[in-house]
Amino acid sequence: MKEFLLKKYSHYGRISGGEIFLPLSTKEQFVEECTLLSVAIGGLEFFHVKPHNVIPVEPVTTFDYSMFLQHSDNWSESVKKCNEAALSVLIEEEKEDPTQYYNPLLFEQPE
């Protein structure tokens, strides 16, 4: 599912070094689709995307939600917690600087 999401959303943003960078305008749709597909957003990093490069925002802004994945036996509940936290941060970051792009760290249910 991760690969499906990355391929589907690649036209909204930019792929660089095997990573996807999405504009904040995609946040609700992307998080909703991740949740529906049981893909957890375990972390976020923020960047500015320029024509020829991708630059981390200053100060460097990262968020790690992997703790929700480590301490739960219920994958669906973990996905929901991670993705709600991620959406909340994305909304706040957009208020601060709507020109940012985000790089989501995606997790699928372990087999």
**Least confident interval from 12-26, 27-41, 57-71, 93-107:** 57-71
What are the two backbone dihedrals, phi and then psi, of residue 101, each rounded to the nearest 5 degrees?
-115, 155
Residue 106: which H helix or E strand, with range? Answer: strand 101-107
pLDDT band for 110, please (50, 70, 90 cuts). confident
Residue 22 has pLDDT above 90, yes or no: yes
pLDDT at 68: 74
Q: Name, in order, each residue with C-beta under 8 angstroms of 67's C-beta and a sequence gap of 6 or more.
A: none
pLDDT digits (tens, 9 = 90+) for 63-107: 887 777 776 778 899 999 999 999 999 999 999 999 999 999 999
What domains can be seen in the chain, in order of their start residue?
2-107 (3.30.190)
Decide: 40 and 68 in contact? Cβ < 8 Å: yes
Instruction: Kindly report the pTM of this predicted structure.
Output: 0.91
